[in-house]
Amino acid sequence: MITQKEFAKRRKSLLKKMGKDSIAILNSAPQMRRNCNIDYPYRQDSDFYYFTGISEPEMLAVFIPGRKEGEYILFLPEFNFETSVWTGATLDPKRAYREFGADQVFTNNLREQELPALLLNRKKVFFNLGKNSHFENQVLKWVKISKTKIREGKNAPDTFIDLEPIIGEMRLIKSPAEIKIMKKVANLSAAAHLETMKLCRPGIMEYQLAANIWHHYLKNGASFPAFEVIVASGKNACILHYIKNDQKIKNNELVLIDSGAEYQFYSADITRTFPANGRFSSEQKAIYQAVLDTQKKVIAAIRPGISWDKLQALTEKTITKHLIKLGILKGSLAKLLQEKAFFPFFMHKFGHFLGIDNKDSGRYKIDDRWRILKPGMIFTVEPGIYIRANTPSVDKKWWNIGVRIEDNVLVTRKGVEVLTTLVPKEIKAIEALFFDRKT
């Protein structure tokens, strides 16, 4: 659990970074209609959650450093008898003060009156640029209203600043409490993968394996999968974000499952690829071993002080070496790397930051320099090799093999800790799962 004390600490840190004469406005995620009068399951905006701990919709959080009446202001829905009957009472002012530490609370019907007033005499407005154009228009409208007071000797804001780089830096380094939750969701997700691998057999439908992943997540207290579960058998594994999951899994095919749970707002992201019948063919084994070797080499290179692009380069180099060794690429390593000859087989990055978002916030490059790894960063390491049918000058025996292996890692003071070791990735260990099942 992230404690209220930690949320308060985050707000304090943000207020300090903003500086004087400033105001920040964050809005909750909009509720999305699915069909008829049914909404999609609600998921709070990640930044809003990060600073408030509030998971409910129709909220606005305002931060004003040094304001006498309070630095943390919340706008929330008015009490509505009908809502309280149908879906339960929404957050009330009492709880907003007591449980969530607000200094001042307004109901949403006062937004048009209070927001322009709060903007008065602030110079800089911080908000998430380019995230929600409806909200951006609202902010501009409030600024416009505040400008009507200029002739009364008041001042209105004249500078807009994107919150994303500031929040990104904060969210990038995980606190001990965050690391604890991320270890929990990593284990929970790994266990779901393990149970689902054991369940696989030729003839089963992709969605049946996906259902088992869901079952395991929800049964263990996760809110939902952090993203649509990917269960891709055979040639579908060459589609990076395959989510149809409607095919029958055939004998002699590989199955790629890419999934992670979301637990207390934090997510995992694991990929495993395994043979449907428990035995890798020699071609499948060769590709798998190449990806596994690459993944292990990259993980071994992770430590504080190394820069992000070094890991990408190491991934590309190792994959290229393997593709040469397998006869899939021909030519000198240096030339092939320069031409990015690996690209038809490995077209994504080696990994991404992980946290409240699957692609967590935080910049990969600052000014002109790639990110230097620091303790407390959590990210994925997920090389892959995908060989689509009819890839020019590639022997038919390799066609439709798609392999990705993805783990979640934490940068520690000494090096790296893999958070998703509960689910096997060595060929022998995977095959043993199936062997054990039959005996």
**Would you tell me which residues interact with Mn ion (CB under 5 A)?**
269, 380
In the complex, minimum distance from the CB of residue 374 to Mn ion, in angstroms, rounded to a whole number: 21
Query: In angstroms, what is the minimal distance from the CB of 238 to Mn ion?
Result: 17
Question: Given the complex with Mn ion, which of 47 and 269 has the nearer CB atom?
Answer: 269
Count Cβ atoms below 10 Å from residue 185 Cβ, excluding itself: 28
> Tokens 């393990």 appear where?
194
Nearer to Mn ion, 44 or 380 (CB): 380
State in angstroms the smallest separation of the CB of 406 from Mn ion: 6
Inter-residue contact 311 to 301 (CB < 8 Å): yes
Cβ distance to Mn ion smaller for residue 65 or 383: 383
Nearest-approach distance from CB 420 to Mn ion, in angstroms: 11
What is the amino acid identity at position 33?
A: R
**Interatomic CA distance for residues 98 and 87, integer angstroms:** 23
Which one, 61 or 230, has the nearer CB to Mn ion?
230
Shortest spacing between CB 219 and Mn ion, in angstroms: 23
For 77, phi then psi, to 5°, come to -65, 145
- Closest contact distance (angstroms) between CB of 361 and Mn ion is 15
Using the minimum distance from each CB to Mn ion, give the nearer residue, 52 or 271.
271
The residues, any chain, with a CB within 8 Å of residue 12's CB and separated by 6 or more, are none
What is the number of the residue whose Cβ is closest to Mn ion? 269
Report, in Å, the least distance between residue 370 CB and Mn ion. Answer: 19
The residue (of 74 and 423) whose beta carbon lies closer to Mn ion is 423
Choose between 269 and 360: whose C-beta lies nearer to Mn ion: 269
Are the CB atoms for 114 and 142 separated by under 8 Å? Answer: no
Least distance from C-beta 286 to Mn ion, angstroms?
Answer: 24
Strand-pair category, 266-267 with 270-275? unpaired
- Residue with smaller CB distance to Mn ion, 184 or 404: 404
302 dihedral zone (left: phi>0; alpha: psi -120 to 50; beta)? beta
**334, exposed or middle or buried, with CB in 10 Å at 0-12, 13-18, 19+?**
exposed
As measured in angstroms, the least distance from the Cβ of 350 to Mn ion is 10
User: Can you give the length of the chain in residues?
Assistant: 439
Half-sphere exposure of 433 (CA within 13 A, CB side): 24
Residue 265 or 280 with smaller CB distance to Mn ion: 265
